[in-house]
């Protein structure tokens, strides 16, 4: 009788050598194809950008009763708020009395936390393999910096947006002399504020940004920093709802707690928590964080910035007082991508109101696997789909094809736009295509250049924010409906309109006239 023998199992060290070697060979191949970007591209608007990581204490509240299996702690307890602020700024000229500007690393610290977090998301629990994720992140992004200045002063009240007759924008062409109070122009472009108006004297509109599943607040730094460079103060929320790779909460007593990515099996619950249950809890938690972010804007505008302790390690506090009486609290817009887009729609359920003085919203690729979409909307909205999100249709919660559900939702508001940027993929609005362009192109099979795609997203977003301020409709927003049914209609009825940078947009819904 023959006895079947099981193949010999790798010992732990042999597994590490085998998989580690394969891992390194793969990344050697990747780096041979991928020109990493150090730093990220300059922002598109006429102003320099200041960057500030902020964590502030908020009034404690518990969202739901979910308990973590590993620690027995409440899973959705909001005690501090973490955001990254992007805001229009000035770059001081070199002077012995002025410290050298500090660049903001693209990767948050500690890198090991993020590496381990992404390993956990991928289901990797073996510590040496988790270290490989950290090593990969370090290789890809440790030298990449955001082209903003940490703790830079807010744009002065006298700051004006200078218009180049050619309409061109030079990212390196803004030099502001704080000593003499004069501005030197080297070709700058049009932003949201306008000379000779109340806005031009210092009322800056605000944006609250909410990131996607497995994303981070800095994963969209070029998109958000570029919006800020057009005269907008942006707060990108670092969500602690268990959707990101990892985040550290810093309590007032010096204690810390790490929030990891959460899955239904991470909770103690009877009956067990489902994916739908988790989404409801996370979206409610995100709504609370959006509310607290707007409250932070209000406190800064009221002049309480110097009284708010910033608990984010290695982050300056000196910029806080500069926001006094500078923010337009009647112009707060919520923006989100993917899960964050679904969360942005969720926040509109209670807007506009005293706690949620939201004047509009921008959603990039909402819905699909990120949960049901709120339909109670009373403000103008802009929904921008990537080409991938539009073309790959799914049945959406028994309501029909996802594209049709989104279209009917926007139509029901009677004051919204719905459009698709052709040749793009779901991550096209993030920094990923800028940092590892060849990887993203191979994986997503996009046909539109990553820089062009981001520029188009930024252009239309800025045009929408300008519309919310002054009612002026321009650019792609002026287009008529070009593709009413998108992938669900006849291909010969899918007309397109060119964006500022020559990309193709399909316009599906426009506001009623």
Q: Which residues are identified as catalytic? A: 338, 365, 426
Structure tokens at 293: 């972010």
Q: Alpha-carbon distance 266 to 268, whole Å?
A: 7
Query: Can you give the C-alpha Rg of the chain in angstroms?
Result: 23
Provide the β-strand partners of residue 209. 236, 335
Residues whose CB is less than 8 angstroms from the CB of residue 270 and which lie 6 or more positions away in sequence, other chains included: none
Q: Alpha-carbon distance 373 to 129, whole Å?
A: 37
Structure tokens at 216: 């981070």
Q: Alpha-carbon distance 236 to 217, whole Å?
A: 5
Give the three-class secondary structure for 403.
helix
Q: Alpha-carbon distance 73 to 352, whole Å?
A: 34
Question: What b/e sequence results for 325-342 when a residue is b if at least 16 CB atoms lie within 10 Å of its CB, and e otherwise?
Answer: ebbbeebbbbbbbbbbbb
Q: Alpha-carbon distance 260 to 118, whole Å?
A: 10
Q: Alpha-carbon distance 327 to 301, whole Å?
A: 6
For the chain, the residue count is: 513
Angle between helices 127-141 and 111-121 (to 10 degrees): 120
Element (H, E) at 85: strand 77-89
Q: Alpha-carbon distance 501 to 499, whole Å?
A: 5
Q: Is 196 exposed, middle or buried (CB count within 10 Å of its CB: 0-12, 13-18, 19+)? A: exposed
Map 27-57 to HEC letters: HHHHHHHCCCCCCCCCCCCCCEEEEEEEEEE
Count of CB atoms situated within 10 Å of the CB of 187:
16
């Amino acid at each position: 009788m023959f006895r079947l023998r099981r193949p010999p199992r790798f010992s732990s060290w042999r597994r590490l050598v085998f998989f580690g070697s394969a891992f390194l060979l793969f990344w050697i191949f990747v780096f041979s194809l991928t020109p990493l970007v150090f730093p990220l591209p300059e922002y598109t608007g006429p102003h320099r950008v200041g960057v500030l990581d902020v964590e502030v204490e908020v009034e404690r509240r518990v969202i739901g009763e979910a308990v973590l299996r590993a620690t027995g702690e409440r899973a959705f307890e909001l005690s501090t708020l973490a955001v990254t602020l992007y805001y229009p700024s000035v770059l001081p000229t070199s002077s012995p009395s002025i410290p050298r500007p500090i660049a903001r690393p693209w990767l948050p610290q500690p890198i090991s936390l993020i590496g381990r977090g992404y390993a956990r998301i991928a289901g990797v629990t073996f510590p040496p393999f988790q270290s490989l994720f950290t090593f990969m992140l370090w290789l890809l992004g440790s030298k990449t910096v955001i082209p903003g200045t940490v703790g830079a002063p807010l744009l002065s009240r006298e700051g004006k947006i200078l218009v180049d007759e050619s309409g061109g924008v030079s990212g390196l062409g803004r030099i502001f002399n704080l000593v003499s109070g004069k501005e030197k122009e080297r070709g700058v472009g049009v932003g949201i504020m306008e000379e000779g108006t109340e806005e031009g004297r210092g009322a800056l509109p605000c944006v609250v940004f909410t990131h996607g599943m497995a994303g981070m607040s800095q994963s969209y730094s070029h998109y958000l920093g570029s919006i800020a460079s057009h005269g907008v103060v942006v707060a990108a929320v670092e969500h602690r709802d268990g959707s990101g790779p990892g985040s550290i909460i810093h309590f007032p007593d010096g204690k810390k707690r790490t929030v990891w990515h959460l899955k239904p099996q991470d909770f103690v619950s009877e009956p067990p928590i489902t994916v739908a249950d988790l989404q409801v809890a996370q979206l409610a938690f995100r709504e609370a964080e959006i509310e607290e972010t707007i409250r932070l804007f209000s406190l800064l505008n009221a002049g309480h910035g110097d009284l708010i302790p910033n608990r984010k390690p290695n982050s300056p506090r000196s910029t806080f007082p500069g926001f006094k009486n500078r923010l337009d609290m009647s112009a707060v817009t919520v923006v989100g991508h993917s899960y964050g887009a679904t969360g942005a729609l969720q926040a509109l359920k209670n807007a506009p109101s005293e706690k949620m003085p939201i004047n509009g919203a921008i959603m990039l690729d909402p819905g699909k696997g990120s949960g049901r979409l709120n339909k109670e909307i009373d403000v103008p909205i802009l929904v921008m789909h990537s080409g991938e999100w539009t073309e790959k249709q799914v049945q959406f919660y028994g309501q029909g094809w996802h594209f049709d559900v989104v279209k009917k939702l926007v139509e029901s508001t009677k004051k919204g736009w719905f459009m698709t940027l052709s040749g793009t993929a779901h991550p096209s609005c993030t920094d990923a295509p800028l940092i590892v362009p060849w990887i993203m192109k191979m994986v997503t099979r996009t046909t539109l250049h990553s820089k062009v795609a981001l520029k188009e997203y930024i252009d239309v977003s800025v045009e929408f924010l300008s519309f919310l301020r002054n009612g002026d409709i321009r650019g792609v927003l002026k287009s008529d409906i070009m593709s009413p049914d998108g992938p669900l209609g006849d291909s010969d009825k899918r007309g397109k309109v060119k964006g500022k940078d020559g990309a193709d947009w399909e316009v599906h819904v426009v506001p009623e006239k």
